[in-house]
Amino acid sequence: MSALAGRVALVTGGSSGLGRAAALAFARAGAKVVLAARGPERGKEVAQEIERAGGQALFVPTDVSRAEEVARLVEATVARFGRLDCAFNNAAGRDTMLQALTEVSEAEFDRALAVNLKGVWLCLKHEVGRMLEQDPPGGAIVNTSSVNGLGGAPYAAVYAATKAGILGLTKSAALEYAARGIRVNALAAGAFDTPMLNEGIDRMAGGDPKERERIVTEYRRLIALGRIGRPEEAAEVVVWLCSDAASYVTGHTLIVDGGLSAAMR
Protein backbone atom coordinates (compact mmCIF):
# COMPACT_ATOMS: atom_id res chain seq x y z
CA MET A 1 0.00 0.00 0.00
CA SER A 2 1.20 3.54 -0.78
CA ALA A 3 2.55 5.50 2.20
CA LEU A 4 -0.20 8.15 2.09
CA ALA A 5 -3.06 6.24 0.47
CA GLY A 6 -6.40 7.92 1.10
CA ARG A 7 -4.90 11.00 2.74
CA VAL A 8 -5.26 14.61 1.66
CA ALA A 9 -2.17 16.79 1.16
CA LEU A 10 -2.02 20.56 0.69
CA VAL A 11 1.00 22.21 -0.98
CA THR A 12 1.53 25.96 -1.17
CA GLY A 13 3.90 27.29 -3.80
CA GLY A 14 2.92 24.13 -5.65
CA SER A 15 3.28 25.36 -9.22
CA SER A 16 7.07 25.09 -9.55
CA GLY A 17 10.33 24.11 -7.86
CA LEU A 18 10.15 22.19 -4.60
CA GLY A 19 6.39 22.68 -4.38
CA ARG A 20 5.71 21.10 -7.75
CA ALA A 21 8.03 18.20 -6.97
CA ALA A 22 6.31 17.69 -3.61
CA ALA A 23 2.83 17.77 -5.13
CA LEU A 24 3.82 15.05 -7.59
CA ALA A 25 5.52 13.03 -4.84
CA PHE A 26 2.44 13.24 -2.60
CA ALA A 27 0.33 11.98 -5.51
CA ARG A 28 2.71 9.09 -6.16
CA ALA A 29 2.42 8.19 -2.47
CA GLY A 30 -1.34 7.88 -2.88
CA ALA A 31 -2.51 11.22 -1.51
CA LYS A 32 -5.19 13.47 -2.95
CA VAL A 33 -3.41 16.76 -3.59
CA VAL A 34 -4.47 20.39 -3.35
CA LEU A 35 -2.03 22.87 -4.89
CA ALA A 36 -1.91 26.58 -4.13
CA ALA A 37 0.05 29.31 -5.91
CA ARG A 38 -0.48 32.81 -7.19
CA GLY A 39 -0.06 31.95 -10.89
CA PRO A 40 -3.01 29.92 -12.20
CA GLU A 41 -1.51 28.63 -15.44
CA ARG A 42 1.36 26.60 -14.00
CA GLY A 43 -0.72 25.51 -11.03
CA LYS A 44 -3.43 24.06 -13.24
CA GLU A 45 -0.77 22.33 -15.33
CA VAL A 46 0.61 20.52 -12.26
CA ALA A 47 -2.90 19.47 -11.20
CA GLN A 48 -3.57 18.15 -14.69
CA GLU A 49 -0.26 16.27 -14.66
CA ILE A 50 -1.31 14.52 -11.46
CA GLU A 51 -4.72 13.64 -12.90
CA ARG A 52 -3.22 12.29 -16.13
CA ALA A 53 -1.15 9.93 -13.98
CA GLY A 54 -4.31 8.65 -12.30
CA GLY A 55 -4.29 10.82 -9.18
CA GLN A 56 -6.74 13.36 -7.78
CA ALA A 57 -5.80 17.04 -7.61
CA LEU A 58 -7.28 20.49 -7.14
CA PHE A 59 -5.65 23.85 -7.84
CA VAL A 60 -6.69 26.89 -5.80
CA PRO A 61 -5.16 30.30 -6.70
CA THR A 62 -3.85 31.71 -3.42
CA ASP A 63 -1.73 34.55 -2.10
CA VAL A 64 -0.62 33.17 1.27
CA SER A 65 -0.03 36.68 2.65
CA ARG A 66 -3.81 37.27 2.62
CA ALA A 67 -5.75 35.71 5.49
CA GLU A 68 -9.01 35.42 3.58
CA GLU A 69 -7.32 33.56 0.72
CA VAL A 70 -5.62 31.08 3.06
CA ALA A 71 -8.92 30.45 4.84
CA ARG A 72 -10.60 29.89 1.49
CA LEU A 73 -7.82 27.49 0.45
CA VAL A 74 -8.32 25.25 3.50
CA GLU A 75 -12.10 25.43 3.10
CA ALA A 76 -11.81 24.42 -0.56
CA THR A 77 -9.59 21.49 0.42
CA VAL A 78 -12.12 20.15 2.88
CA ALA A 79 -15.07 20.84 0.57
CA ARG A 80 -13.44 18.78 -2.19
CA PHE A 81 -11.79 15.96 -0.25
CA GLY A 82 -13.42 15.94 3.19
CA ARG A 83 -10.37 16.54 5.43
CA LEU A 84 -6.75 17.68 5.61
CA ASP A 85 -4.03 15.24 6.66
CA CYS A 86 -0.76 16.73 5.38
CA ALA A 87 0.46 20.21 4.52
CA PHE A 88 3.66 21.50 2.95
CA ASN A 89 3.92 25.27 3.52
CA ASN A 90 6.40 26.10 0.81
CA ALA A 91 5.31 29.37 -0.82
CA ALA A 92 7.98 32.08 -0.67
CA GLY A 93 9.06 35.26 -2.40
CA ARG A 94 12.57 36.18 -3.48
CA ASP A 95 12.23 39.95 -3.83
CA THR A 96 15.03 40.83 -1.38
CA MET A 97 17.56 38.24 -2.56
CA LEU A 98 20.93 39.61 -3.71
CA GLN A 99 20.36 42.95 -2.00
CA ALA A 100 22.49 44.51 0.70
CA LEU A 101 20.55 45.19 3.87
CA THR A 102 20.70 48.97 3.31
CA GLU A 103 19.33 48.61 -0.23
CA VAL A 104 16.09 46.90 0.81
CA SER A 105 13.16 49.29 0.90
CA GLU A 106 10.58 49.26 3.66
CA ALA A 107 7.96 48.07 1.18
CA GLU A 108 10.20 45.19 0.07
CA PHE A 109 10.86 44.26 3.71
CA ASP A 110 7.14 44.25 4.50
CA ARG A 111 6.33 42.16 1.44
CA ALA A 112 9.05 39.61 2.22
CA LEU A 113 7.75 39.14 5.76
CA ALA A 114 4.15 39.02 4.55
CA VAL A 115 4.77 36.17 2.12
CA ASN A 116 7.63 34.22 3.69
CA LEU A 117 6.79 34.45 7.39
CA LYS A 118 3.26 35.71 7.85
CA GLY A 119 2.18 33.37 5.05
CA VAL A 120 3.51 30.33 6.92
CA TRP A 121 1.84 31.52 10.13
CA LEU A 122 -1.50 31.99 8.35
CA CYS A 123 -1.24 28.54 6.81
CA LEU A 124 -0.40 26.96 10.16
CA LYS A 125 -3.27 28.81 11.83
CA HIS A 126 -5.90 27.54 9.40
CA GLU A 127 -4.39 24.09 8.79
CA VAL A 128 -4.02 23.32 12.50
CA GLY A 129 -7.52 24.62 13.17
CA ARG A 130 -8.94 22.23 10.60
CA MET A 131 -6.83 19.28 11.78
CA LEU A 132 -8.10 19.77 15.33
CA GLU A 133 -11.75 19.81 14.24
CA GLN A 134 -11.82 16.83 11.91
CA ASP A 135 -12.66 13.25 12.86
CA PRO A 136 -10.29 11.64 13.52
CA PRO A 137 -8.19 14.70 14.43
CA GLY A 138 -4.50 15.12 13.68
CA GLY A 139 -2.11 15.57 10.81
CA ALA A 140 1.43 16.39 9.76
CA ILE A 141 2.84 19.72 8.55
CA VAL A 142 6.19 20.62 6.99
CA ASN A 143 7.33 24.23 6.62
CA THR A 144 10.02 25.19 4.13
CA SER A 145 12.94 27.01 5.71
CA SER A 146 16.44 27.26 4.27
CA VAL A 147 20.07 26.80 5.21
CA ASN A 148 20.06 30.61 5.08
CA GLY A 149 17.77 30.48 8.11
CA LEU A 150 20.38 28.59 10.14
CA GLY A 151 22.72 31.59 10.27
CA GLY A 152 23.53 34.82 8.50
CA ALA A 153 23.37 35.23 4.73
CA PRO A 154 25.17 38.18 3.12
CA TYR A 155 23.02 39.99 0.56
CA ALA A 156 20.00 38.01 1.74
CA ALA A 157 19.50 39.38 5.24
CA VAL A 158 15.74 39.78 5.06
CA TYR A 159 15.24 36.42 3.37
CA ALA A 160 17.42 34.76 6.02
CA ALA A 161 15.46 36.47 8.79
CA THR A 162 12.15 35.15 7.45
CA LYS A 163 13.55 31.64 7.13
CA ALA A 164 14.91 31.77 10.68
CA GLY A 165 11.50 32.92 11.86
CA ILE A 166 9.91 29.87 10.25
CA LEU A 167 12.06 27.65 12.47
CA GLY A 168 10.70 29.40 15.55
CA LEU A 169 7.11 29.02 14.33
CA THR A 170 7.69 25.35 13.55
CA LYS A 171 9.11 24.43 16.95
CA SER A 172 6.47 26.42 18.82
CA ALA A 173 3.59 24.86 16.88
CA ALA A 174 5.09 21.40 17.39
CA LEU A 175 5.16 21.94 21.15
CA GLU A 176 1.64 23.33 21.28
CA TYR A 177 -0.10 20.62 19.27
CA ALA A 178 1.90 17.38 19.65
CA ALA A 179 -0.42 16.09 22.38
CA ARG A 180 -3.38 16.64 20.03
CA GLY A 181 -2.00 14.51 17.23
CA ILE A 182 -0.38 17.14 14.99
CA ARG A 183 3.29 16.91 14.05
CA VAL A 184 5.09 20.00 12.71
CA ASN A 185 8.59 19.94 11.20
CA ALA A 186 10.76 22.14 9.00
CA LEU A 187 12.75 21.45 5.86
CA ALA A 188 16.00 23.45 5.77
CA ALA A 189 16.65 23.34 2.05
CA GLY A 190 20.00 23.90 0.42
CA ALA A 191 20.69 24.50 -3.27
CA PHE A 192 18.16 22.84 -5.55
CA ASP A 193 17.69 23.15 -9.30
CA THR A 194 14.63 25.40 -9.11
CA PRO A 195 13.49 28.60 -10.86
CA MET A 196 14.37 30.57 -7.71
CA LEU A 197 17.98 29.37 -7.67
CA ASN A 198 18.44 29.68 -11.43
CA GLU A 199 17.03 33.20 -11.47
CA GLY A 200 19.45 34.19 -8.72
CA ILE A 201 22.42 32.72 -10.60
CA ASP A 202 21.34 34.48 -13.79
CA ARG A 203 21.19 37.79 -11.95
CA MET A 204 24.64 37.28 -10.45
CA ALA A 205 26.06 36.36 -13.86
CA GLY A 206 24.58 39.44 -15.52
CA GLY A 207 23.80 37.55 -18.73
CA ASP A 208 27.37 36.28 -19.21
CA PRO A 209 27.29 32.49 -19.92
CA LYS A 210 30.91 32.01 -18.84
CA GLU A 211 30.32 33.84 -15.59
CA ARG A 212 27.23 31.74 -15.01
CA GLU A 213 29.25 28.57 -15.51
CA ARG A 214 31.87 29.83 -13.07
CA ILE A 215 29.23 30.58 -10.42
CA VAL A 216 27.64 27.15 -10.79
CA THR A 217 31.05 25.47 -10.57
CA GLU A 218 31.85 27.41 -7.40
CA TYR A 219 28.47 26.53 -5.92
CA ARG A 220 29.07 22.84 -6.57
CA ARG A 221 32.49 23.10 -4.97
CA LEU A 222 30.90 24.26 -1.71
CA ILE A 223 28.56 21.25 -1.59
CA ALA A 224 30.02 18.06 -0.12
CA LEU A 225 28.19 15.87 -2.64
CA GLY A 226 29.55 18.03 -5.44
CA ARG A 227 26.27 18.83 -7.15
CA ILE A 228 23.12 20.92 -6.93
CA GLY A 229 20.14 18.92 -5.70
CA ARG A 230 17.14 17.74 -7.66
CA PRO A 231 13.77 19.04 -6.37
CA GLU A 232 12.57 15.44 -6.16
CA GLU A 233 15.19 14.74 -3.51
CA ALA A 234 13.66 17.36 -1.21
CA ALA A 235 10.14 16.23 -2.09
CA GLU A 236 10.76 12.68 -0.93
CA VAL A 237 11.92 14.01 2.44
CA VAL A 238 8.72 16.04 2.78
CA VAL A 239 6.56 13.00 2.01
CA TRP A 240 8.50 10.95 4.55
CA LEU A 241 8.01 13.60 7.25
CA CYS A 242 4.26 13.50 6.57
CA SER A 243 4.09 9.69 6.64
CA ASP A 244 3.67 7.28 9.52
CA ALA A 245 7.33 6.33 9.06
CA ALA A 246 8.13 9.66 10.78
CA SER A 247 5.49 9.25 13.51
CA TYR A 248 7.99 10.06 16.29
CA VAL A 249 9.45 13.14 14.58
CA THR A 250 8.15 16.59 15.50
CA GLY A 251 9.68 20.00 16.17
CA HIS A 252 12.63 18.97 14.02
CA THR A 253 14.55 20.89 11.37
CA LEU A 254 15.70 18.43 8.73
CA ILE A 255 18.62 19.84 6.73
CA VAL A 256 18.67 18.64 3.13
CA ASP A 257 21.61 20.38 1.46
CA GLY A 258 24.07 17.79 0.17
CA GLY A 259 26.45 18.74 2.97
CA LEU A 260 26.61 22.45 2.05
CA SER A 261 26.34 23.60 5.66
CA ALA A 262 28.06 20.63 7.34
CA ALA A 263 31.31 22.50 8.00
CA MET A 264 29.47 25.44 9.59
CA ARG A 265 27.26 23.70 12.14
Which amino acids are annotated catalytic? 159
Can you state the angle between helices 157-177 and 119-133, rounded to 10 degrees?
Answer: 20
Please tell me the distance from the alpha carbon of residue 168 to that of residue 32, in angstroms, as a whole number.
Answer: 29
Give the residue ranges of DSSP H helices in 29-83: 40-52, 67-81
Please tell me the distance from the alpha carbon of residue 42 to that of residue 230, in angstroms, as a whole number.
Answer: 19
Type of residue found at 249:
V
Q: Is 259 left (phi over 0), alpha (psi -120 to 50) or beta?
A: left
CA angle 139, 194, 221 (to 5 degrees): 110
**What are the Cα distances from residue 8, in Å, to 33, 134, 161, 165?**
6, 12, 31, 27
